[in-house]
Amino acid sequence: MSCNCQPKPCGCEDTKLVSPVTTECAISELCDEVVNFECVKYTGNDIYTIDIKKNDRLDLVVKKLVLYLTNPNCFNPLASCQSIKNFNISNIKQTEATISYTVPGAPAAITSTKLQWSTDPTFAVVTGFQSILVSATPKWTIINLSANTTYYVRLLTSTSGNADCCTSITLSFKTLTI
């Protein structure tokens, strides 16, 4: 079910748009709606504590919430070392994928990031890594991956006096089948 939303307080006068429920989810149950979080914007008040702003994409809001709940010391917007809060995986192919990210601005004093990838979600074994200076374009294509394999990706940040001081959340992706 969707609603014919009007810009009124609480949407009390909105009328719902009714369409037959025909979508089947991957777990074989009927769904009212499937939402791509990259296409939905947060429209509430700015939440300073966790750096959520009006019009942030919902996928970024969820990533910030997860980071705040799992690693609050690296979320502090006043700290010199902070985690990468916003990164994405795109252009997933059989043997490569592209990682793009945004480095927090001042007062963070991040000098470099280390991109790590692994087939182990705990990173007990790191499959590969790449150190990237902050002055470089915050985008990296990981190559020579195995096809049809799930990989986990995270970013570590460093300051001039503190290497690998914060870790981002971990995202996963699966390379395409040959």
Number of domains in the chain: 1
Measured in residues, the chain has a length of 178
> 109: domain range?
76-174
pLDDT in tens, 72-131: 889 888 889 999 988 999 999 999 999 999 898 888 899 999 999 999 999 999 999 999
Residue 53 in any domain: the answer is no
Residue 39 in any domain: the answer is no
pLDDT in tens, 7-18: 555 545 556 555
pLDDT more than 70, % of the chain = 81
Residue 56 in any domain: the answer is no
**Distance set, CA 122 to CA 60, 66, 94, 114 (Å):** 22, 16, 23, 16
For residue 100, the domain's CATH number is 2.60.40.10
Residue 67 in any domain: the answer is no
User: What whole-number distance in Å separates Cα of residue 144 and Cα of residue 128?
Assistant: 10
Q: Which residue has the tokens 């980071």?
A: 67
Q: Which residue has the tokens 């914060």?
A: 166
